[in-house]
Amino acid sequence: MDTVVESRRTESALANKGKYRRPSQAEAEAAVRTLIEWAGDNPDREGLAGTPERVVRAYEEFFAGYNEDPVAVLATTFEETAEYDEMIVLRDIRLESHCEHHLVPILGKAHIGYLPAGRVVGISKLARLVEVFAKRMQIQEALTSQIADTIQDVLKPRGVGVVIEAAHQCMTTRGIRKPNVSMVTSRMLGSFREDRTTRQEFLSVIGGQRNVSHES
């Protein structure tokens, strides 16, 4: 599925979330108990007695992004920039997400660059934007597009570049079991897509000539 379509599908699901009844904490804990029993253990034994509650609390942290508005994160911008119009790059942003296919961790880092058009945003807000989308059930391709598209839509810069490098435990700890493998995805918009020099400058700043396509 096209990543933009997937991104819109996720946004639509979030918009309609209020139409569905969210299970209670007790129901969620009961579901965890069922999984423990299905795996072959006793959820009432001492070591597992508090596990359902702990898992539910952990899920509240893992998927906190569903309760946050990514547009609101970038709402506060600054126009007093002394006419700064060069590239702004925030690199090596720690990324922790979960694969929507197996609900296992995706661990890596994101790099964000943009060319401002009169407005800039605090750098902590860029890191926060990554968190909002990462704290959801994801595929890396959609995550990359969601971050770049939101920056483009809200800040309206001359261009945006997002590169994500991450390891997926759905293939490193299960299935094909190939450790030390990372996936690289990119989303280039505006001048980052159209101008090879701009794109190469961004890739150089984030750490060398990475093997990523501007076609995202």
Q: Annotated catalytic residue: which of 68, 102, 169, 201?
A: 102
Partner residues linked to 184 by β-bridges: 165
Residues whose CB is less than 8 angstroms from the CB of residue 10 and which lie 6 or more positions away in sequence, other chains included = 136, 142, 146
Whether residue 146 lies in the annotated active site: no
Q: Annotated catalytic residue: which of 138, 140, 146, 152?
A: 140
Do 56 and 78 lie in a common domain?
no
| Mutual angle of helices 25-39 and 51-62, in 10-degree steps | 110
Residues whose CB is less than 8 angstroms from the CB of residue 25 and which lie 6 or more positions away in sequence, other chains included = 56
The last residue of a domain, from among 62, 81, 99: 62
Take residue 130 and report the two structure tokens written for it: 């990554």
Take residue 52 and report the two structure tokens written for it: 């359902």
Digits of tens for pLDDT over the chain (216 positions)? Answer: 444 444 445 555 555 555 778 899 999 999 999 999 999 999 999 999 999 999 999 999 999 999 999 999 999 998 878 888 899 999 999 999 999 999 999 999 999 999 999 899 999 999 999 999 999 999 999 999 999 999 999 999 999 999 999 999 988 888 888 888 899 999 999 999 999 999 999 999 998 645 444 443
The reported pTM is 0.86
Do 30 and 107 lie in a common domain?
no
Residue 210 included in any domain: no
Whether residue 99 lies in the annotated active site: yes
Partner residues linked to 11 by β-bridges: none
Total tally of structural domains belonging to the chain:
2
Do 194 and 106 lie in a common domain?
yes
Q: Where are the beta strands (DSSP E) in 79-142?
A: 88-99, 105-115, 120-121, 137-138
